[in-house]
Amino acid sequence: MIKVGIIGSTGYAGAELVRILTMHKEAEIVWYGSRSYIDRNYASVYQNMFKIVDAVCMDDNMEELAGQVDVIFTATPQGLCASLVSEEILSRVKIIDLSADFRIKDVSVYEKWYGITHKSPQFIGEAVYGLCEVNREDVKKARLVANPGCYTTCSILTAYPLAKEGLIDMGTLIIDAKSGTSGAGRGAKLPNLFCEVNENMKAYGIASHRHTPEIEEQLGYAAKEKVLVNFTPHLVPMNRGILATEYAKLTREVTYEEVKAVYDQYYGNEKFVRILERDVFPETKWVEGSNYMDVNFKIDGRTGRIIMVGAIDNLVKGAAGQAVQNMNLMFGLDEAEGLDLVPMFP
Amino acid sequence: MIKVGIIGSTGYAGAELVRILTMHKEAEIVWYGSRSYIDRNYASVYQNMFKIVDAVCMDDNMEELAGQVDVIFTATPQGLCASLVSEEILSRVKIIDLSADFRIKDVSVYEKWYGITHKSPQFIGEAVYGLCEVNREDVKKARLVANPGCYTTCSILTAYPLAKEGLIDMGTLIIDAKSGTSGAGRGAKLPNLFCEVNENMKAYGIASHRHTPEIEEQLGYAAKEKVLVNFTPHLVPMNRGILATEYAKLTREVTYEEVKAVYDQYYGNEKFVRILERDVFPETKWVEGSNYMDVNFKIDGRTGRIIMVGAIDNLVKGAAGQAVQNMNLMFGLDEAEGLDLVPMFP
Amino acid sequence: MIKVGIIGSTGYAGAELVRILTMHKEAEIVWYGSRSYIDRNYASVYQNMFKIVDAVCMDDNMEELAGQVDVIFTATPQGLCASLVSEEILSRVKIIDLSADFRIKDVSVYEKWYGITHKSPQFIGEAVYGLCEVNREDVKKARLVANPGCYTTCSILTAYPLAKEGLIDMGTLIIDAKSGTSGAGRGAKLPNLFCEVNENMKAYGIASHRHTPEIEEQLGYAAKEKVLVNFTPHLVPMNRGILATEYAKLTREVTYEEVKAVYDQYYGNEKFVRILERDVFPETKWVEGSNYMDVNFKIDGRTGRIIMVGAIDNLVKGAAGQAVQNMNLMFGLDEAEGLDLVPMFP
Amino acid sequence: MIKVGIIGSTGYAGAELVRILTMHKEAEIVWYGSRSYIDRNYASVYQNMFKIVDAVCMDDNMEELAGQVDVIFTATPQGLCASLVSEEILSRVKIIDLSADFRIKDVSVYEKWYGITHKSPQFIGEAVYGLCEVNREDVKKARLVANPGCYTTCSILTAYPLAKEGLIDMGTLIIDAKSGTSGAGRGAKLPNLFCEVNENMKAYGIASHRHTPEIEEQLGYAAKEKVLVNFTPHLVPMNRGILATEYAKLTREVTYEEVKAVYDQYYGNEKFVRILERDVFPETKWVEGSNYMDVNFKIDGRTGRIIMVGAIDNLVKGAAGQAVQNMNLMFGLDEAEGLDLVPMFP
């Protein structure tokens, strides 16, 4: 039984880790970290866990935690994981960081977009970007995994095969993404009040959202060139779900079958990526509560562009589910253990 | 492996049966019945099931079905199950009927409230009302289980211990219930359109809803007297969830502890009924996607009444989950098999 | 042109006052009070008002305000109006208080339910309870109007004619009310976050909500007896709207026509109360954005009870609209001026 | 008083016409056409209109109607208006067609995208495209106005000034639009059920939506070149609102101030187009219920693109409000009469 500690277990992503790991047959949570709710019963913070989780919230002490668990998940704001991690800790436990601290290889890019100084740049090199479908073999050997962001998971995987195979002109890629409100976290902020979000839709972080450089770096590796994209996130009045609609010029004339074959080549054997049937396009509800990513595309001969659409549950494949998928890989378990979650509809 | 056939697998309750049974370790669906979608791929009707369910929808032939399966779930409109069932069929398979056909013992009451003639009154007597927490032992021996309605499950269980122990004056019981919209089914009707339901709330079926006699009969058995209640359902702009708020005069002065002890006596060992802590009241989101029923109460000394509140997911404990719980009992399995569903929040 | 000052213009009720008064032909807002946003452009707090309201938020100085306006609306938390008002101020301006400070005649009841000491009990006597349909003539002469609460407006008006005419047994009255989330205000609190409210429903303030004594006092005047009720509010995932479902024993056998005649007697000439046609029951969306209250009833012969249902927009007839209706009465204007708002559907 | 007839008054756009015209001081509806509800009381179809509209639904007889009214609004499916209109009718009444029949000048484009044969191509030439901010003078003189589509109004106005001034490369324009569900109409179709839309988001009509050629034609006039765009609509779980996010390459380096000046040049004096302040981006809720269009932009120096965002209420500026704005122009009234609707928030 793998012993798990969670730092930040009372945010929405942390709570989703708890939900998933509770159903995981080979892992057991032994530390529910939450700076805001120390000593409080976990189930009183998340009443859905009443009679399911019987534990009290603990502090963020990573050193003490390292002595008690096999793996630590950090589901905390940027900067915290980098400020706590050390060689001594990494020599004792594996770490899966759900924050952005170790996602971007160029520390100056990180510091510019996040506006903070990186406290542990020495570990950026070894950290593996935990997009399982892309970096599976590296994840298996990693001590420190940088779990991808929610928007980035969806944005990258939607375009990845075509970027990799050179079918799209990376200079023309535009990503218009829409997210449910759980992505904004559980902080009590006015813009996230029910009455401000319900019956409303808006773009935000235009040309400045922090997931931009992460997408650019990963798609740059795929395309083997420097990539700049327009990434625009939008807030949607729903709890969960991310839909990414992506546009790019095709580099040559292609048929549906050719493009389909490229997606199949990369995802045909992937359990968690479903290439939908022709002309069926992803809807967020079809993946809700599950670790699936649905994807499809449409060639527009009139404009010479391809439109790609991907959908995930931002808290599962976009956060906690992918983190558990990474844990499974790191510990040599069945990659899908604990993740056989059937999407809930309606 | 128990072989399962579902008649009506493409309604919302039928689809929830599919979701739950897909994760059930000892059952396998071999017949996806759906009169509306015969020969169509099931996953094209419920895209969430893409790459999970690989099957084609079948007709409603109960006789043929009886030769292929161990248990039939009928998740169909009233009247259908009663029109199909026969002694010959019941001698070969067990039936769990999610419609109202066999819930009410007095056929004239059924015919009056439902406005149809009962086609198989000869089986009403042996049918067991499948409210597991109340009729567990009978369910275990049943050939034919009448799975309770969604409102009724929540309404009955919320008041049951106090009705049984004579703590409330049954002549004063008022049940004000609120339901998510999935309870209205997947039929394409104007009142269920998004724009008609969203940002709206209404009462309906006032003094005439068909779940009324079912509640009255069952609470009558508990109280050992004829019971008449006011039951008022309301439509709420959410997909899932039922909340029942119930009011009754106390028959004598009681303390919180006394009432709590009565609830504990009936539900203390029940896995799927959670009596919340003092002054914490049920919210539908805390049980969403799960088979739990949450319940609590408040004594109002000023008025001499007790207010009881219960919450369930109408599609799980109120339909498919309870049906599987009944199946587990009928086949001698662990009652919770396939039902270890952790509520999803948010 | 009536000069208006609003203290608390940036809460949801205050903003609704601004919306309504902006369309009012005989009133002009000259003071947008908001302690939280002093010196900030009003339209930057409510962007819907961009290019419509060109003003800066001011402090809460009631004395200074009294010199500049004809009427002050206080849309603030309990206690503030009572702490600011004085004989000197009341001699110069009329005050319409949207808080609870002057709604309850018995100061000890107020202090017990609200848990604060009343700062100006000397004005409670002269304050008129501004339920226009009930106290119209008194409102016309008032210096100080206590604008009713949202739940109370809906709860009282729904039962008022039957209470007044002795058709219902007041000892059996139960009020089960459901409200949209704007009733919770614009404070940044965790329970009001989108993800906590959406897809969720709950009861709250069971047997303890502060609107209870207000309802009891007013219905007591109508029934000419001391009244105790069970009032249970619920939070619904929608922005606006209150639905009250009320239950009571009839004091004698009555026909639909008799009860209808009683409602007609009280509301037949009321512009803002619509008695719906037989068996058509109120829905909150049908009054959204308007000052209407829709009401209807159903006699349940089986239980000897009557079920009454009322619906309002909590921010209009439940707050700002009724406040403007009171202002119109106090200044001798057409009672409906500025309130010809057609409900918006969908 | 202008006498108005509405053909198709019981769809959502028709009902919004009724709502707006009810508050219009110089117009009066005398014909509530509705093929589906002939002889039925209008207020029983839209209960929000109870005690406001006292009229019965009529048939679609345009000839008879022409003898009774000054202007006819057709809020009907494509093809109907074209099949009813004639020179004789146009000589007697003005027509404002909310369908697509007369929006597209090239009849072969219309027939290809809509898949029907145009019944009155002879009137396409004289029909004026009723985008008031662009074609105001022509509208004033028109007998037949083609009221723009909802997506198109928002999509065109958002980019219009930059297209006209040559600041954006039209070959790179991508329009990603999101709409509330009222845009799908009041037809009882499964995909529009509450449970299918709520908590869900999807793209639809990818590379094939019928509003595409309308956008291309109008932006083509502005840019004075043939324009092809990628237009992708999305369905959002809200009743009202369209948000268009548009991307294009800048044709040269520009500053914020330069672009702002271009928007000001076109919209600075427009009552119904609000250019938001720097870095404040449109949200659909800020225009809900009103005829406003909010717009803003962001220059992304990294990619050389500009991102433009526009928001409207699809039923007002995107349909009924704009139709009334056109009527006001055609009859020489104040363009804003009946349209002084303050957006409702929340």
* pLDDT tens digits, D19-50: 999 999 999 999 999 999 999 999 999 999 99
List the domain range (segments joined by +) for residue C295: 151-314
Which residue, among A19, A46, A48, A296, would best test binding to B if mutated, counting the most B CBs under 10 Å from its CB?
Answer: A48
Domain assignment present for C35: yes
Q: Provide CB contacts within 8 A for D182, sequence distance 6+.
A: B195, C346, D12, D239, D240, D314, D315
Residue B84 lies in a domain: yes
Gap between the Cα atoms of D201 and A233, Å rounded: 14
Nearest CA in chain C to A236: C194
Contact criterion met (CB < 8 Å) for A49 and B342:
yes
The total of other beta-carbon atoms located within 10 Å of residue C257's CB is 9
CA nearest to D279 within chain C = C44
CATH code, D81: 3.40.50.720
Give the residue from chain A lying closest to C235, CA to CA.
A194
CB contact under 8 A, A342 and B19: yes
Neighbours of A166 (CB within 10 A): 15
Q: What is the mean pLDDT of residues B30-43?
A: 97
Work out how many CB contacts closer than 8 A connect C with D: 77
- The residue in chain B having the minimum alpha-carbon distance to the alpha carbon of residue A198 is B199
Using only C-alpha atoms, chain B has a radius of gyration, in whole angstroms, of: 20
- Of the candidates D48, D49, D343, which has its C-beta nearest C48's C-beta? D343
Known catalytic membership, residue B150: yes
Three-state DSSP class for C108?
A: helix
Of D23, D182, D283, the CB nearest to C346: D182
CATH label of the domain that carries residue A298: 3.30.360.10
A-chain residue closest to D181, CA distance: A199
Asked if C50 lies within 8 A of D276 by C-beta distance, the reply is: yes
**In the 8-state DSSP scheme, what is residue C44?**
H
Q: Which residues of B fall within a CB distance of 8 Å from D238?
A: 198
The residue written with tokens 């290019």 in the block is C51
pLDDT at site D29: 98
Q: Is D196–B196 a contact, with Cβ atoms under 8 angstroms apart?
A: no
Mean per-residue pLDDT, D116-129: 97
Claim to verify: residue A93 and residue A159 sit in the same structural domain: no
Inside any domain, residue B259 = yes
Q: Does B169 lie in the same domain as B310? A: yes
The overall average pLDDT reported for chain A is 97
Query: Which tokens in the block code for residue B64?
Result: 């043929």
Question: Does residue C131 belong to any structural domain of this protein?
Answer: no
Number of domains in chain D: 2
Neighbors of chain D by Cβ distance (3+ pairs < 8 Å): A, B, C
What is the average per-residue pLDDT within B290-303? 98
D122 and D235 share one domain: no
Residue A173: the pLDDT is 98
User: Which entry of D81, D150, D154, D195 is annotated as an active-site residue?
Assistant: D150
Is the model's pLDDT at C175 over the cut of 90?
A: yes
Q: Which residues of A touch D245 (CB under 8 A)?
A: 176, 203, 232, 234
Q: Residue B203: its chain D contacts at CB < 8 A? A: none
Q: Assess if residue B345 is contained within a domain.
A: no
DSSP string, B236-281: -SSSS-EEEEEEEEBSS---HHHHHHHHHHHHTT-SSEEEPPTT--
* Confidence tier at C60 by pLDDT (50, 70, 90): confident
Shared-domain flag, residues C179 and C105: no
Find the closest chain B residue to C309 by CA distance.
Answer: B203
Task: Give the pLDDT confidence of D314-339 residue by residue, as tens digits.
Answer: 999 999 999 999 999 999 999 999 99
Closest CB from B44, B50, B199 relative to A274: B50
Q: What is the pTM assigned to this prediction?
A: 0.98
Q: Is C187 found in the same domain as C39?
A: no
Contact at CB, D47 and C280, closer than 8 angstroms: yes
**Closest by Cβ to D274, choosing from C23, C50, C340:** C50
Rounded Cα distance between D130 and D153, Å, is 10
Q: Is residue D131 part of a domain?
A: no
Per-residue model confidence (pLDDT) at position C17:
98
Query: How far apart are alpha carbons B103 and B113 in whole angstroms?
Result: 12
Assess whether B120 and B202 both reside in one domain.
no
Report CB contact under 8 Å: B195, D237.
no
Q: Are residues C181 and C245 in the same domain?
A: yes
D48-106 per-position pLDDT tens digit: 999 999 999 999 899 999 999 999 999 999 999 999 999 999 999 999 999 999 999 99
Among residues of chain B, what percentage have pLDDT more than 90? Answer: 99
Q: For residue A268, which phi and psi values (nearest 5 degrees)?
A: -55, -30
Q: Is D61 helix (H, G, I), strand (E, B) or coil?
A: coil
Residue C144 lies in a domain: no
Residues C172 and C36 in one domain: no
| For testing contact with chain B, the best of C245, C287, C295 (most B CBs within 10 A) | C245
Question: C-side interface with A, Cβ within 8 Å?
Answer: 12, 181-182, 186, 188-190, 192-199, 237-239
pLDDT band at D161 (very low <50, low <70, confident <90, very high): very high
| Percent of all residues in chain C with a pLDDT value above 70, rounded to a whole number | 100
> Which of D34, D36, D194 would best serve as a mutation to test chain B binding (most B beta carbons within 10 A)?
D194
Residues A50 and A100 in one domain: yes
**CB-CB under 8 Å, D188 with B188:** yes
Task: For residues D264-293, give the mean pLDDT.
Answer: 98
Distance in Å, alpha carbon of C235 to nearest chain A alpha carbon: 11
Number of A–D residue contacts, CB under 8 Å:
147
Please say if the pLDDT value at position B150 is more than 90. yes
What number is the average pLDDT over the span D269-296?
A: 98
CA–CA separation, A237 and A181 (whole Å): 7
In angstroms, the CA B70 to CA B82 distance is 19
Residues of C in contact with B183 (CB under 8 A): none
Chain B residues with CB-CB distance to C236 below 8 A: 178, 201, 236-237
pLDDT at A60: 86
Are residues B241 and C201, on separate chains, in Cβ contact within 8 Å? yes
Among A126, A142, A161, which residue terminates a domain? A126
The reply to whether B23 falls in a domain is yes
Residues B37 and B94 in one domain: yes
The C-alpha atoms of residue B307 and residue B71 are separated, in whole angstroms, by: 39
Q: What is the DSSP string of C217-279?
A: HHHHHHHTS----EEEEEE-SSSS-EEEEEEEEBSS---HHHHHHHHHHHHTT-TTEEEPPTT
Number of C-beta neighbours around residue D338 at 10 A = 21
CA distance A346 to chain C (A): 11
Longest CA–CA separation in chain A, Å? 62
Chain B residues whose C-beta is within 8 A of a chain A C-beta are 12, 15, 19, 22-23, 44, 46-52, 182, 198-199, 239-240, 274, 276-277, 280, 283, 285-290, 294, 340, 342-346
Chain B residues with CB within 8 Å of chain D CB: 12, 181-182, 186, 188-190, 192-199, 237-239
- Do D76 and D168 belong together in one domain? no
Whole-angstrom distance, CA of residue D90 vs CA of residue D82: 12
Average of per-residue pLDDT across A106-110: 97
Nearest CB neighbour to C12, from listed A12, A188, A195: A195
Cα–Cα distance, B52 to A328 (Å, whole number):
21
- Portion of chain A with pLDDT greater than 90, in percent: 99
pLDDT of residue D60: 87
What mean pLDDT is predicted for residues A103-128?
A: 97
pLDDT at C35 over 90: yes
Q: Which pLDDT band holds residue B60 (cuts at 50, 70, 90)?
A: confident
**Residue found under tokens 């829905």:** C283
In this predicted structure, the answer to whether residue D254 has a pLDDT above a threshold of 90 is yes
* C contact set with D (CB within 8 A): 12, 15, 19, 22-23, 44, 46-52, 182, 198-199, 239-240, 274, 276-277, 280, 283, 285-290, 294, 340, 342-346
Which of A110, A126, A142 marks a domain boundary?
Answer: A126
Which residues of B are less than 8 Å from A49 in CB distance? 342-343
> Does residue B164 sit in the same domain as residue B306?
yes
Residue that terminates a domain, selected from A90, A111, A126:
A126
Q: Which residue of C has its CA nearest to A195?
A: C239
pLDDT in tens, C255-314: 999 999 999 999 999 999 999 999 999 999 999 999 999 999 999 999 999 999 999 999
